[in-house]
Amino acid sequence: MKVAGISVEAVVVPFEKPFRGSSYAVVSRRVLIARVTLDDGTVAVCHSGNGHEDAPLVARLATEIGQLMVGKSLHSVEQNWAQLFDIAGPVQSPWRQRNLTHAIATVDTALWHALGVTTEQPLCRLLGSDPNPIPAMYIGGYYGEGTAQEDVEDAIAFVKTSGVAAVKLKVGNPDVDLDIEKLRLTRELGGDDLQIVCDANGGWDLRTARRFADAAADYRIEWLEEPVHWHSDVDGMRLMRANGKVEIGAGQSETSPQRAAKLIMDGAVDVVNFDASWGGGVTGWRKVAGIAELSGVRVAHHSEPQLGMHLLAGIRHRGYVEIYEPERDPVWYQMVDAPPVVGGAITAPYGPGVGLTIDESFVKRYRVDA
> What is the reported pLDDT for 5?
98
Average pLDDT over residues 183-206: 98
User: Residue 51 pLDDT more than 90?
Assistant: no
Q: What is the pLDDT of residues 94-113, one digit of tens each?
A: 889 999 999 999 999 999 99
Question: Bridge partners of 224?
Answer: 198, 248
> What is the reported pLDDT for 282?
99
More confident residue, 137 or 93: 137
Residue 22 CA to residue 285 CA, distance in Å, equals 26
Confidence class of residue 23 from pLDDT cuts 50, 70 and 90?
A: confident
Count of C-beta atoms within a 10 Å radius of residue 265? 10
Pick from 33-47, 86-100, 191-205, 259-273: least confident = 86-100
pTM of the model: 0.97
Q: What is the pLDDT of residues 270-322, one digit of tens each?
A: 999 999 999 889 999 999 999 999 999 999 999 999 999 999 999 999 999 99
DSSP state of 246: S
φ, ψ of residue 161 to 5 degrees: the values are -75, -30
Task: Domains for the chain: give ranges and CATH numbers.
Answer: 3-121+358-368 (3.30.390.10), 126-346 (3.20.20.120)
